[in-house]
Every structure is written in structure tokens, then in C-alpha cells.
Structure 1
């Protein structure tokens, strides 16, 4: 059997303090993931959980995401046309409705605002919303993934090219958990990015396990309140929860590093 060569830089870092070096290394591909324990306090997580019923939630488009994933807030991919453009007639009303619902819910402390502020502090400049024609897109979804997520990647430059006013050089995924299952729900990130031949292993929005066979990977099982940041162009997946009634709930968004060194956010 051929030996699996390992990249010594593809590791997961645990750090109580998120830094600009972490973000830069993730963008450069010289770090697999950063986990920040207790990014949100226990009371903040419990406060968010107590208010979640105020948020209108829905499943992702089942034609694109066959595994049920409950979410609040529009995701750009659910409004993508076959040619990779944005269905603006559907997206912008959904974005405005989500902003209004979030404001009405009045979750305090605001997990999204707290997260963006800490990321901006780490980078040394505020994180700003990505824009389309000068109009800010929605950022900061709530996702409940109990049945796992397929092996997939997220890369807006490939999926919806030139959509934003800003030009992106890297895309990172940010998640902070307010509820975790007792078993299962781990996130795995592979040192592997999409190649054209991978389309032979396509499975709905994702890819079959053969795509990442024998690829180096890291697997992380955060606790409630922990944050996780990784480069979403790498293949990644979520293991299903184990046990009846277990819930895995996170606030999440994407971060884009632009050609001008700015951090932008969207969902």
C-alpha cells in the first residue's frame, strides 16, 4: 500500500486568542483550522437558545441539499441560477426579511455582532459586509445540522464568479456553537481541494467519500461556545449526531479576504 505523505503545516490549532496570523495562515493554506474554546460564554449560549424560537427557520432547498439542514437566514447558494448568477428578485426580499426578523428577535448578547467584533479585533480592522452593486448582502445564519453534511467545498470564486464588488483571494468558514450533541457532529476538514475529475464522484451538493480517500485530514468536536475557523475551499463534512433528540446548532458565516486586505462577511 502506498505511503501517505503528510503536510506538517496542515494541523488544527487550539487558541484562546484568535490572531491575524491565524487568519493569514488559513488563507494561505498553511493551517487546517483554528478552534477557539469558550468564544461565547455559557450564559450567552443559553440566552441564544432561549430566543431561537423567535426566528423563522426553514430547510435548505431539498433539490440541492437532500439531507435536512434547518437554517435561519438566506444562503447565497440557494439563490444561484444555473449559470452561476444571483436570482436577485428572490434573494433581496429574503435578505431584508431576515434582517427584520433578527431585529425583532432581539437576541442579546448578539452572537453575530460579538463574533464579527472579535474577528475584526484579531485582524486589526473591522469586518464589513460583502456588497453587490453597493448593496450589503446578508451575513450571519443559524444552522441546525443534526443529520450531518456531505463532503463538499465552499468557494464563491468558483461557484458564483465576480458576484461581489470586492475581489476575493480566500474564503474562510466561521462557526460558533450554542448547542452540541453528546456524541457525533464532528467537523472534518481534508487537505484536498476540488479538481475537475471530482465531478465523477458528485453526490447532490457534495461528493462521495472516494473523493478524499487517503487524504490528510483533521477532525474536530467543539464544545458549546467554541468557535471554529477554516478555509472552506478545502473539502469538509459534518458527521451525523448519534442518539435520539441530539441537537447541533451554530451561528455561521463566511469571511472573505480581499485583494486590498479587507475582511468581508456573508452567508
Structure 2
């Protein structure tokens, strides 16, 4: 049966001067598509962050797993998920500690991740805490350079680790990005009003899905501008458009709203 073409009037992307607690709550509830804050970082902060990138150890994803080239810094928990749905903890904690040390050595000043966490905590009314596993704080704050695009996919910690992972219980997950370099054309993030369902597996493509999975779904397109901060709910299918020239570089992390009303962060 084809999906409906009727539009949800609440599934919109808004620009705002700053993130608010209402933005966070509406994104968690699914009554908003995305919130963008232009000039979240000013040009000077973007230039400082960009100049420090050469001091960070970056690497490509494994091509069989991620067919489009994506350059990254910092461990993402999903990359350490074993076939049994458990975390490869030995490898993860080793890489997390190495990433923390590399971040300190890079001397990122101002620190885009620290700025973002502080502002989001202020908006929520309580500081954002790191997610923990067995009382140990996970790594939070990755760098991604995506120029060749990213497949349609979703991110959902509760599906990725269905037996549980964090000490905290996550009710809803949000994704944050701030761009320190943007291309002149291309590189848009598209977010669809669609969440995973079993029928989507017929469209499975490596880590993501073919576009047929969302071809009749409502969506918003968000082309990044330098310094933009973006929040959206990554349980909605989303993708990145390739950019023909230039560099598309963002710092990113996930936020989780817990059963106790706390915001936690991880990558």
C-alpha cells in the first residue's frame, strides 16, 4: 500500500536566534522536524576550529561498510557494536581514551563541543551530562567531513543496542551539528518524516537504505551555512547530499532525553 501524501503541518524546520527548551521538547516529541540557529559559531570561532583540524588524527570509514568516503575523528558507539548487539568495550574504551588525549593536544580554542553543550544545557535549564556505561563517561563530540554524501539512514541508540547500553534510560535521541566549513553548493541535510519499519529492510544498502524507502515521504532540506547549529531527531530517516566542490565539515554529537528529564550526550 503506498504511503500517504498528506502533509503534517507540524513537521517543519525553523530558524531561531537560539535553541530553547521548547525546541528540544518538540523535537523529542516528533512535533518539529529541525531547528537551525544561524551563526551559532561566529566566523572567527569557525576559522580557529578549522585551523586545529590538522592536529587531530582523522581516518576514513571502512569502504565495504561506508561506500561513500567520510573522514572522521572520534569514536562513535555504533561503530563498536558487535553482532550480538553488545559493545566491543575493550576496543571502544581504548579508542575513547586516545581520542580524549588527541583532543587535548589539539588545543581547540574556542571548543565548539564545549560551547554547544553549555548553550544546550542553559536552554534546557540543567547542564548536559555525559552518558555513562558502568559509571564511566563515554566519548562525546565527533568531527565529520562529508563531501561525497551520506546514504539515507537513521540513528537510534535504543535500536542499535536493544539490550541496553547506558546507565541512563533514553526516551528520545537528538542529533546536533555545527559547521565550521561549508561548500558553495550541495551538502544539504534532508530529514524525512519517516521512522524505521520492518518493510524498509527490502531497501537496505550497507549501513543505510535506498532512496525508495522514503520517496513518498514528507521531508525538509537544510543546506548548511558557515557557523550554523542544527538540531533534529535522527530517528527520522535522513541523508546528506554530495557537494561537488569545497569541504563540508561539522562537529557533532547526540543528545538523549532520559526518563528522569536529564539531557545526556554521546557520539
TM-score tier, shorter chain, comes to over 0.9
2-side partners of 1:195 and 1:3: how far apart? 15
In structure 1, the residue matched to 2:127 is 126
Residues 4, 216 of structure 2: 8 Å contact kept: no
The TM-score, its normalising length taken from structure 2, stands at: 0.97
Alignment counterpart, residue 205 of structure 2, candidates 203, 206, 218: 203
Pairwise CA distance, 1:105: 0.6
Relative to 1, partners in 2 of residues 1:124 and 1:199: Cα closer, same or farther, differing over 3 Å? same
- Cα distance in structure 2, aligned partners of 1:60 and 1:22: 32
Q: Is the 1:35–1:222 contact (alpha carbons within 8 Å) kept by the matching residues of 2? A: no
**Partner Cα distance (2:133, 2:17) in 1:** 34
Equivalents in 2 of 1:228, 1:65: separation in Å? 23
Displacement after TM superposition at 1:222 (Å): 1.9
Cα RMSD of the aligned pairs, angstroms, is 1.1
2:148 match:
147
Residues in 2 aligned to 1:266 and 1:63: alpha-carbon distance in whole angstroms = 25
Give the TM-score of the pair, scaled to structure 1: 0.97
The alignment covers a number of residue pairs equal to 265
> Following TM superposition, by how much is the alpha carbon of 1:160 offset from its aligned partner in structure 2, in angstroms?
1.1
Give yes or no for contact 1:12–1:34 (8 Å, CA) kept in 2: yes
Other-structure match for 2:251: 251
Q: Does 1:183 align with 2:185?
A: yes
**Cα drift, residue 201 of structure 1:** 0.5
Per the TM alignment, residue 3 of structure 1 is displaced from its structure 2 partner at its CA by 6.8
Task: Report the alpha carbon displacement of residue 142 of structure 1 after superposing the two structures with TM.
Answer: 0.5
Displacement after TM superposition at 1:186 (Å): 0.1
- Which runs of no fewer than 5 residues in structure 1 stay unpaired? none
Q: Conserved in 1, the CA contact under 8 Å of 2:144 and 2:251?
A: yes
**How many angstroms apart in 2 are the aligned matches of 1:138 and 1:41?**
25
Equivalences for residues 54-203 of structure 1 within 5 A: 54-161=55-162, 162-203=164-205
Quick one: distance in 2 between partners of 1:190 and 1:81? 28
Runs of 4+ in 1 over 4 A off after TM superposition: none
